A and B are shown apart, each in its own frame.
Chain A
Amino acid sequence: AQSVAQPEDQVNVAEGNPLTVKCTYSVSGNPYLFWYVQYPNRGLQFLLKYITGDNLVKGSYGFEAEFNKSQTSFHLKKPSALVSDSALYFCVLRGAGSYQLTFGKGTKLSVIP
């Protein structure tokens, strides 16, 4: 079975400071990892994904994520947070050969002006 954990329900960060949203995973075989963001009453917007290759993945809106195979982690990062980054962030796992996505519980990010 595959699983995703987002250990923090909420992350608060001051505007202009770096932000990190944590994610760890468990899967047999190669993981395909995604980050999505959801604004209130909206669908999920794709930010970035790791398939293979470079462990540092760059995505939309200045976000990036670091894949660490030994720690089975895929943390989302941004060097300088904006108030508009405040939203719900989901780490998502798809195992190789699997049809479906497994979602983390989500982390609510609040950027304080």
Chain B
Amino acid sequence: KAGVTQTPRYLIKTRGQQVTLSCSPISGHRSVSWYQQTPGQGLQFLFEYFSETQRNKGNFPGRFSGRQFSNSRSEMNVSTLELGDSALYLCASTPRGGGGATDTQYFGPGTRLTVL
């Protein structure tokens, strides 16, 4: 089975712009979670989607949003970019979502976003 894929792998934007990142989960997985990784804050949970519904959201401003499509692919959007948004954005997929707390999350390679 193919793993989790994320596109693009690298992205450079300037402050004030917006960006959309894409994640394709492992085939058959219905849940996608997004994480932000920075040297200072480590790995922080952004949100989780299951069956096109946002199930849970981390403590991030409303500039961060996401959605999930019927084929389980997910996108996250960051509007009005700030320098502090520079990070590695990781998505992970699991088969069952919130009801499967024991499920392993499988991570993609990430999108490295640099905001200038």
Contact = CB atoms under 8 A, between A and B. Distances in A.
A22 interface: no
Contacts of B108: 43
A11 interface: no
B4 A43 contact: yes
The DSSP consensus for interface residues of chain B is strand
B33 A100 contact: yes
Residue of A90, A102, A103, A104 contacting most chain B CB atoms (<10 Å) = A103
B45 A100 contact: yes
Contacts of B109: 42-43
Interface residues on A, range: 20 to 34
A74 interface: no
Interface stretch (A13-21, A45-53, A65-73): A45-53
Contacts, number: 58
Interface residues of B, number: 27
A112 interface: no
Interface in B7-51: 33, 35, 42-45, 48
Interface in A93-113: 94-106
Contact of A46 (B43, B88, B97, B104): B104
Contacts of B48: 99-100
Nearest to B106: A46
B97 to A, nearest CB: 8
B101 A97 contact: yes
Interface of A: 32, 34, 36, 41-46, 49, 51, 90, 94-106
Interface of B: 4, 6, 33, 35, 42-45, 48, 55-56, 58, 88, 90, 92, 97-98, 101-102, 104-110, 112
Given A44-B107, A98-B101, A105-B42, 15 more contacts: A34-B105, A41-B112, A42-B109, A43-B4, A44-B92, A46-B105, A46-B107, A49-B104, A94-B102, A99-B48, A99-B97, A99-B101, A103-B42, A103-B43, A103-B44
